[in-house]
């Protein structure tokens, strides 16, 4: 296994170069998300409306997964316990470990880690739904 913290430089066909994107899977990011249970068993649920909070120009694990990988909502669903009540939560300090596949028998793989899950504050709920909490009062 190789832990890759890589810098990627994109060069476009016309020769125009964008700013380098720094990808650091150890850079912690928070993810705000909504849980909606579809029945009373707690086993049928939907992860809705997630947003990554990243206040830098570094692409962390959650931003990378949203932009280039599968989907962050899949990882959240795997992390949550069955029976998590409906609500808005924050996955705190998301980081990861990326393993490059050989391109033939193994795929690239991203293991996602986090510090803890907590209920979202009213301000964070506003961020998720695009509402300024204090202006709406």
Ranges of each domain in the chain = 21-129
> What pLDDT does 96 receive?
93
Question: What stretches of 53-111 show up as alpha helix (H) in DSSP?
Answer: 61-67, 72-79
> What pLDDT does 15 receive?
46
Q: How many residues does the chain have?
A: 137
> What pLDDT does 10 receive?
44
> What pLDDT does 89 receive?
95
CA distance 78 to 55: 26
| Ordered mean pLDDT values, 10 residues apiece, the chain (137 residues) | 49 49 91 89 81 88 85 86 89 92 84 94 90 66
> What pLDDT does 106 receive?
84
Query: Is residue 53 within 8 Å of residue 98, measured between CB atoms?
Result: no
CA distance 54 to 132: 18
61: phi then psi, degrees, rounded to nearest 5: -60, -50
Which is nearest to 45 in space by CA: 36, 58, 54? 36
Chain centroid to CA 83: 21
């Amino acid at each position: 296994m190789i832990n890759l913290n890589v810098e990627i430089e994109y060069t476009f066909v016309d020769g125009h170069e964008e700013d380098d994107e720094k990808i650091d899977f150890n850079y912690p990011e928070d993810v705000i998300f909504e849980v909606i249970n579809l029945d009373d068993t707690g086993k049928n649920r939907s992860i809705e409306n997630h947003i990554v909070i990243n206040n830098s120009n570094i692409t962390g694990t959650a931003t990378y997964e949203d932009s280039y990988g599968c989907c962050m909502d899949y990882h959240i669903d795997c992390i949550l316990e069955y029976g998590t009540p409906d609500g808005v939560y924050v996955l705190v300090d998301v980081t990861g470990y990326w393993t490059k596949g050989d391109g033939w028998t193994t795929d690239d793989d991203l293991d996602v880690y986090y510090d803890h899950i907590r209920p979202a504050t009213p301000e964070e709920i506003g961020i998720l739904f695009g509402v300024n909490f204090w202006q709406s009062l």
